[in-house]
Amino acid sequence: MWASSTVRMNFPLLRQLTQTQIKALEETAEALHTEVVQAQVIPFDDPEVVERRVYGKRGQFAKNGREYKGRLVKETVHGGGNLQNNSTFVDYTNVQTGRAVLSSTAPYARRLYFHPEYHFDKGENPNARGKWYEDWLQGGKHQDFCQKAFVESYRRITEL
């Protein structure tokens, strides 16, 4: 018995499918980021107004001859709100190799994440806690979210 076959590769179509996978991965990472923010699990503090005194030069005197006691300045101190809104983003640098990273640039993010024993303010985000990604990791209640989001995104893009 003898068999012969010819295989013709459609490289433009394969390239298009690869680009579709990359686009679906980017959309999945953004969907995860949105899902985590909407779940309100990232610690988020309300802005706090702090009053402090600002002094002039040493030995400065007011017009009446008394020593200058400084002036009262109000400044807004932000808590963890920047962690959720400005500091957490999706990093696409390795998306060509199939890797998108949800990252936080705030210096205190690691400390808050790995210490769930902290008392988190639940005023803005009622579900705030440490280890806020646990629900989306393996064994969590939303562990299949990324797989479903990728499949849905890939199907939607390829149907165009």
Give the residue carrying structure tokens 């199907």: 155
- Tell me the per-residue pLDDT of 99-150, one tens digit each, with 9 for 90 and over: 999 998 888 888 889 988 888 878 788 898 999 999 999 999 999 999 999 9
- How are beta strands 71-77 and 48-54 bridged, if at all? antiparallel
Q: What is the mean pLDDT of residues 154-160?
A: 88
Say what the pLDDT of residue 45 is: 64
pLDDT of 60 strictly over 80: no
Burial class from Cβ neighbours inside 10 Å (0-12, 13-18, 19+) for residue 42 reads buried
Type of residue numbered 67: E
The answer to whether the CB of 109 falls within 8 A of the CB of 115 is no
